[in-house]
Amino acid sequence: MSKHFSKTEFEYPVHRICGKISRKSKVVHRCTPSGKFITYLQGERNLVAHPVTQAELDRRTAFKTRQALVAARLEKTATTYATDMAAYRAQYATGYKSFTKYLWAQVMADETAD
């Protein structure tokens, strides 16, 4: 298998495809935000060729921590729920359209402020 993703171009009648062609397919077609298309194979990770790095473990730990903070603030019994909901509603017209996304942004902002 190649180390780099292959670039894919589609011919008529397909103009764009993102995701899998079928549920059982291991080939994934990804549309990037820059407008490019890449194709890769999905499957189990080869831990010998691509071992888990310390940076990856750190990212996983940080995500788990953030997710737990967001989940705790999403609970209606949380002490900050009423304040968070009021702030979310106040910014709704110009900001985040989902309460969960709003809380994620708040957790990330709190983390960078520390």
Mean pLDDT of the chain: 87
Give me the mean pLDDT over the 18-42 stretch: 83
β-pair partners for 9:
none
Select the more confidently predicted residue: 6 or 79.
Answer: 79
Select the more confidently predicted residue: 29 or 72.
Answer: 72
Inter-residue contact 53 to 46 (CB < 8 Å): no
Contacts 24+ apart (CB under 8 A), 48-54: none
Band (10; pLDDT cuts 50, 70, 90): low
Q: pTM of the full predicted structure?
A: 0.65
| Burial per residue of 15-34, b for 16 or more beta-carbon CB atoms within 10 angstroms, e otherwise | eeeeeeeeeeeeeebeeeee
- Residue at token pair 């019994």: 77
